Amino acid sequence: MSSEKELQLVGEDYYSSLTELTFNSKPLITTLTILAQENISAAKYITNAIIKRITKCVPSQKLYSLYLLDSICKNIGSPYTVLFGSNLSNLFIETYTLVDDVQRKKMIDLFKTWKVTKSTSGMPLFPHEAIQMIEKFLIKVTKPNAQQLGNQQQRGNPLLHSNGQQFFNNGNINNKPQTPQTMTKSLISEIGNLQSIISGRLALNPNNAKDSQKLVILDQLKNILSSSALGPSELAGIQQQLKEFSSGEIQTTNPPVTNNQPIHIHTPPPNQGFVNNISSNSSSTMINANVNTMALNPAALLSSIASNNNHVQQSPSFTANNNSVKPNNIDMNTLFNTLQSTGLINLNKSGNMALHPPQSNKPGIIGGNVQPRKGPLKPLVNLPSTSILQSILTNTKQVKPKSDVRSALDYSDFLPTNSSNSSKLPNIREFQKLLFESKPIKCNNCGKRFTDTQESQNHMDWHFRINKRLKDTASINTRSHYLSLEDFVLFKESEILGEGGDSTTEANNDSRDVTTAPSDNSSDASKHYIVIPDDCTDMSTICNICKDTLKGVFHDETGEWVWKNAIQVNQKIYHWICYNETSSKRKAEEDKIRGVSKKPNLNGLKFDVSLLKSLSTINSLSTINPS
């Protein structure tokens, strides 16, 4: 059960991950978006965290957090759109005044997309007041751009009408290309979001019968949406009501106190007005519906939610609904499962597919614009079309936080054959995207690429340690013996990555298979320390394995001066990592002498140091550390 405090913690955690967003990293933004999606119940705090980040970070990095805001709003939509929307204009204008011209240009580009993009529910992304305010501001500050923006306004912006009914209509007109199917899908996803908000609130206050009932009704609504084919006008009705309902919900979840400004939503505030609106709407738009189908009428369902919320007298439609709620209530799990299996509420997929459209002219991490090679290359191999490549690139859904490029690639019709000479090779620009932009961080030392900063930081740490050891002329380095063929058969690369060159930490981050490693050495190491004895005068000592100096530091928890990451064995001090590494090797050697041979794990790739039988490694270590 998550408490308010825990949600707050989620927000704080989120803020600390945000501090890594110091460059335009698509994977990072994707990850953060997914995080925001997963913790939708903490939406308020996540929103606050992002706003805080945008206002607090150095100007050069503000843009990336704005991209994140953009990504979240476009992919998840409500409640984030509403939460950000209330503060958007101030945030945007403040940021704009602080950043340099290049970033301003990019902000304008970003803003342009906000004007034309629809949220997942097909509604405008942000409240039009906010958009209008920003637009006015931009026109004022960018005279040369004014014309351009003006044009845009005439051409594509349907948001400039404020009247609720008109707005509603506009939404529809604008959604012409949106088929009922996609509309249904987006509606279902919106319902999913609402449900998670409500269940989040329910977790805080389990006794709230209204909330649990709302959940049931929403489920039913989902069911109706997915099972029956509704006409566009009906869908539109649901959409509108859902929108209003959700803003009511969000405001309930998010006490107005936290916002200095009134929330700019194009619907009246909840409670009485909300209900009135709903009932009037349902009477005006839905009244024509056959009374017999009333139980299946989604709009009526929504009204019933609203009524529940506000204790108004029951409308006829509500009673009708009540009848249908009960049987469905029993079968809720089945219902939910069916929905999932039909793929209709698989929000994640549809949500993330659209992350940062590939054509957007983002600043490439790997450098400026690239001139694609002119003229077609010699056709040799059947290759997928550009669009496939792009969609693969964009489909970052499959790229897990710890990105696995392999799974992001899907060349369904890509065969190692050179029979079809008619197909063209994609130009190198496409390769570049796949190979380099998917891993934006490049090591300055060896050119290796990484998807996230933590990985690359670990890699740089590894370089640092290796270089330090390589420069240390006192240590003798020799070529180890090769494995016997039998041992090679049983060998796993995880072992070599784990010990090759003091690369214990590297192993955990570098090789995917070591996730099964028994323990994370770095976190282990930090738990080990030795309190500096009183007779020690200069606060330092040396590790008996690597001969590095250990310096004393003050340990807050115990209030003593200590040597960190150290262990004392038989009066001798060692680095915890050094000791661990050698002792595990020693153990492996002892096992071998005793004839204890561990059976290789044939299924998984376990980090199994005992398999290491490289004699020389053991020899050389025992010469350094006679035991």
Q: Strand runs (DSSP E) across 88-133, as ranges? A: none
395 sits near other proteins (criterion: CB under 8 A) = no
Please list, in sequence order, all residues whose beta carbon lies within 8 angstroms of the beta carbon of residue 440, skipping any fewer than 6 positions away: 23, 24, 25, 26, 27, 365, 366, 449, 451
Site string for other proteins, 42-81 (x = CB under 8 A): ----------------------------------------
Q: Are 76 and 120 in contact (CB under 8 A)?
A: yes
Closest CA to 433 of 524, 480, 372: 372
- Least Cβ distance, residue 58 to other proteins (angstroms): 24
- 229 or 370: CB nearest other proteins: 370
Give the SS3 label for residue 529: strand
User: Comparing C-alpha atoms, which of 430, 439, 416, 296 is closest to residue 366?
Assistant: 439
Instruction: In whole angstroms, give the CA distance from residue 497 to residue 627.
Output: 25
Report, in angstroms and rounded to the nearest whole number, the Rg of the chain calculated over CA atoms.
30
Q: CA 333 to CA 39: how far, in whole Å?
A: 22
Report in angstroms how near the CB of residue 409 gets to other proteins at its nearest: 6
Among 144, 176, 602, 626, binds other proteins (CB under 8 A): 602
In angstroms, the CA 73 to CA 87 distance is 13
608 binds other proteins (CB under 8 A): no
What the block records as the tokens of 375 is 């003229």
> Is 483 among the residues that bind other proteins (CB under 8 A)?
yes
In terms of Cα–Cα distance, which of 404, 500, 388 is closest to 455? 404
Binding range to other proteins, per CB under 8 A, among 34-42, 210-218, 279-287, 610-618: 610-618
**Sheet of strand 529-531, all strands in order from the earlier edge strand to the far edge:** 529-531, 560-564, 549-555, 540-542
Q: Is 209 within 8 Å of 313 (Cβ atoms)?
A: no
Between CA 62 and CA 98 the distance in angstroms is: 9
Q: In this chain, which of 209, 428, 531, 596 binds other proteins, going by CB under 8 A?
A: 428
Task: Tell me the C-alpha to C-alpha distance, in Å, between residue 531 and each of 356, 431, 537, 557.
Answer: 52, 55, 13, 12
> Which residues within the stretch 337-366 sit at the binding site for other proteins (CB under 8 A)?
366
Q: How far is the CB of 568 from other proteins (least distance, A)?
A: 25
Residue 531 touches other proteins, criterion: CB under 8 A: no
The residues in 366-385 that bind other proteins, with binding defined as CB under 8 A, are 366-368, 370-373, 377-378, 380-383
- If one asks whether residue 460 binds other proteins (CB under 8 A), the answer comes out as no
Question: Does residue 584 bind other proteins (CB under 8 A)?
Answer: no
CB 121 within 8 A of CB 187: yes
**Residue of 279, 432, 522, 583 interacting with other proteins (CB under 8 A):** 432
Nearer Cβ to other proteins (491/561): 491
Q: Considering the rule CB under 8 A, would residue 102 count as an interface residue with other proteins?
A: no
CA distance 187 to 121: 6
- Stretch of 38-46, 223-231, 486-494, 590-598 lying at the interface with other proteins (CB under 8 A): 486-494
Among 19, 272, 360, 484, contact with other proteins (rule: CB under 8 A): 484
Q: What's the closest the beta carbon of residue 499 comes to other proteins, in angstroms?
A: 9
547 makes contact with other proteins (CB under 8 A): no
Amino acid at position 101, single letter = D
Residue among 160 and 483 whose Cβ is closer to other proteins: 483
We find the least distance from the C-beta atom of residue 600 to other proteins, in angstroms, to be 6
Q: Which is nearer to other proteins, 103 or 451 (CB)?
A: 451
Give the C-alpha separation, 511 to 99, whole Å: 40
> Which of 479, 527, 594, 599 is close enough to bind other proteins by CB under 8 A?
479
Report the C-alpha gap between 323 and 295 in whole angstroms.
8
Between 88 and 497, CB nearer to other proteins: 497
Q: Which pair of tokens denotes residue 333? A: 């799990």
Position 474 contacts other proteins (CB under 8 A):
no
Closer residue to other proteins in complex, CB, 573/605: 605
> CA-to-CA distance for 513 and 509, rounded, in angstroms?
9
Residue closer to other proteins (CB basis): 92 or 462: 462
Among 502, 520, 524, 591, binds other proteins (CB under 8 A): 502
Exactly one of 133, 354, 466, 542 binds other proteins (CB under 8 A); that residue is 466
464 binds other proteins (CB under 8 A): no
Contact 50, 42 (CB under 8 A): no
- Residues 6 or more apart in contact with residue 577 via CB below 8 angstroms: 502, 504, 521, 525, 565
Cα–Cα distance measured from residue 625 to residue 621, given in angstroms and rounded to the nearest whole number: 6
Binding-site member from 156, 431, 531, 598 for other proteins (CB under 8 A): 431
> Applying CB under 8 A, what is the total number of residues that bind other proteins?
89
Q: Supply 137's token pair.
A: 């501001």
Residues 396-425, interacting with other proteins (CB under 8 A): 404-406, 409-412, 414-419, 425
304-333: which residues touch other proteins (CB under 8 A)? none
Interactions with other proteins, residue window 438-457 (CB under 8 A):
439, 442-449
CA 130 to chain centre: 26
Cβ distance to other proteins smaller for residue 290 or 623: 623
Q: Per CB under 8 A, which of residues 110..149 are in contact with other proteins?
A: none
Minimum CB separation of residue 442 from other proteins in Å reads: 7
